[in-house]
Each structure stands twice: as C-alpha cells, then as structure tokens.
Amino acid sequence: MQVRSASTAKCTTFPTSTRRSTSLLCTRPMSMADAREGANRDRYELVERSLFLPEHDAFRETVRRFVEKELVPQHGQWEKEGVVPREVWAKAADLGMLCPSIPPEYGGLGADWLYDVVVIEEITRGNVTGPGFMVHSEMVAPYILAWGSEALKREWLPRMVLGEAIGALGMTEPGAGSDAKNIRTRAIRDGSEYVINGQKTYISNGQHADIIVLACKTDPGEGAKGVSLIAVDARSPGVERGRNLEKIGLKAQDTSELFFNDVRVPADNLLGSEGQGFSMLMTKLAQERLCIAIKSIAACEAILSWTVDYTPERKLFGQSVADFQNTQFVLAQLAAEISAGRILVDWGIKHFLDGRLSSVDAAKMKLLMTNLNGKVVDECLQFFGGYGYMCEYPVSQAYVDARITRIAGGSNEVMKQIIARDLFRGKIGRD
C-alpha cells in the first residue's frame, strides 16, 4: 500500500512481512528488549477482529518495525533522561504516525481513525511508554481541527503532522485535579488579546510542547460555563516550564509544570466561543478515554502473552509453573476477561468511527479496561517470582506504567460519577 507522506511529499510504501517470533530463555523471563521486539505476537489476539483492512495491517507492520528499530533500542536511555528526543517525532512523522487522520488540506494523510488505533496499539504492545504521540495526535490536534480558526489550523496542524510542533493539553491544575470546572487559570480579554495567568501541572509533553491547548476561566463567576479553551504558543513571553516531574512510571515521558505570567495571546486563538470550553472538553474527553481503553486492553493482551510464554519455562518443585492448576485457572480467567474487554473496546472503536460513541460509554470502557489492566499485570507479575520485581523485565515496567491509567483522563472515581449520573438521571440530586 502507498500513502502520501505529509513530511516528505512523496509516496511511502508500507511493506508487509511475516510476523516475528522470538524464543524465551528457559530459566529467565524475556528481557525488556525481547518483549518490545514482539515475542509471539500472534497470541496477542485472543478473539478475531474484523475492524481492520489489509492496508491497516500493512501500516501496522510498518509501525511495528519502527517501534522495534527506532524506539526499543534507545528507550532505556530515554527513561534515564526523562524525555524522548525531538528527532524521534520527525522520524515517526515520516511514516505517517503523527495525526494520520488530519485532512490533507492541513498536511495530514486524511486516513481513517483506525490508523491512529494501530499506532496506539503497537507502541503499547512494544512496551514503549516514552513517546507522547497519543496526547499530540488524539488530544491536542482534534481540538484545533474541530474548533480552531482557519488561520490557526493552517498555522499549526501541518507542523504537528510533520513533528515540527509538539502539542500538549493544559487542563490539570494543582488544586483542581480531574475537576475542570474549578480551574483557576484566568484569561482576561484586553482588546484583541487575552492576558493569561495561572499554572498547570502533570502536563504530558510539557518540556517539548510548542502549542498548548489551555483550559482557562474567561468568566470565573460562571463555573463550568466560564471555561474557555485557548491555543497558546509556548514560545510566547511569560510562558515558563517548570521541572520535569519524576514519576513512578512512564519514566521516559516528559511531564511538566507550566506557568503563565501575563501571557498575551491573540483573541483569534480562542477555540470556538467563550464559555464553550467545558462542553468541548466533555466532547473530546470521550475520545481520550477511548484511547486509554485501547491502550489498556492492548497492554493486557501483551502481558498475558509474556506470562503464557514464560510459565512453561519456569520450574518449581520439579515441574513447570504452567503445570499447576492455579496457574492455568488464573490465566484462563484473565484470558476470558481480556477477550470480553477486547470485544467491548472494538465495539467502542466502531461506534466512535460512526460518530455514535457517548461520553457515558467511553467512561464505562475507561473504567473497566484500566481496572482490568491493573488486575492483569498484578496477577501475572506473581508468576514471574523475583524476576517480576526487577526493572529490567517488561512485566515490572508494565506494572508501574499501568497505575496512571486509573488517574489520567479523569480518575476512575469520576468515571463512576458519570455513569451513576446517567443511571439516575432525574431521579436523585441534580441532573
């Protein structure tokens, strides 16, 4: 298959090849590199999937090769440095991995959203957590495409497709957490500009960000109705980056504090209209939560695969760990739950493609899949014994990386509130 590459203005051929399989050592679980290179990838799919066409499969193979050759060998170093170099973004852009569904008039491939899904899944299955491509492509670009002015779209989207400009979403604040209604960052209109003051925290891509979709209060007395979204050029005077925050997981992904001190932004950088920010966030958060669910179920499939490969090799009391009925029953239960999760998530992907995914359904998937991710990695780690606690092995890394999924994109407690509010609509409290 040939797809027009926005970054090179030439046809890029996505090659197809047979899937790779690597063998495991008899006495040790696979190393981080082994897992990221894709041991027994055929086992990842416990149920038949019907969403993807041959061109998606060809693109998947290209993404997989990129993960194995360009990301895996350097990821350990990036974890030490706490950031992925900018040139990696440009290399990913050469293959159409950044914002692939952005329309051609803004520099994108105009591909369907399943290409985005492929990128999320393959990076997750490679156990590579550093590149913040998902935030860039699935959280920032969609806001600009949906509500940005024509000038704003033409200024930023082509550069995002090329990897020349990196996007960040500035929503979370130290005192607000998942509650977007209570943000304190202020944007005051002053003629043809907004003057912004405030701070954000836990901002993915914060160290590299060139464009920030920032949630601000333009009318602090109106609660949720006073929230607006403004695209801020990170080079603007008054924008300051705080420290790169140290986390228990996602070590290679830069996560920062951002400060805004009398930052002047053109009024034309307002997304949509004043006061529409909260409704925009609720609309696009459904996509973000679906992406987290996609990432979580892909992680579950990979972790189960590692465990099924390793337990027959690990010996205990004269037999393999896989010979014990407990091992078989635990992994059988997880396989059944992962299969059900995969069916649900693929249903969610199809509904999103059809424009029918509700915020409530997205909340349900995010809640269930992130909880399942935590369960799968916790129970599977146990079968690796002491190796499972060693940082050099993938199940250990997956364990610490999984924890954030129950917090990011709105905590799972917030997901329960969304679901409960829908269940009891008009029956209890406020609608």
| Active site amino acids | 288
- Cβ of 305: how many Cβ atoms within 10 Å? 22
Residue whose tokens read 């027994």: 40
Structure tokens given for 124: 């997750």
Structure tokens given for 262: 């009398």
Cα 202 to Cα 215: distance, rounded to the nearest angstrom:
14
Cα 74 to Cα 60: distance, rounded to the nearest angstrom:
21
Tell me whether strands 2-5 and 10-13 are parallel, antiparallel or unpaired. Answer: antiparallel
Q: Which amino acid is at 296?
A: S
Structure tokens given for 192: 């043809």
Residues with Cβ within 8 Å of 198's Cβ and at least 6 positions away in sequence, in order, are: 173, 183, 184, 185, 186, 216, 259, 260
Sign for the CA dihedral angle at 215, 218, 223, 229 comes to negative
- The angle, 0 to 180 degrees and rounded to 10, between the axes of the packed helices 114-125 and 277-310 is 40
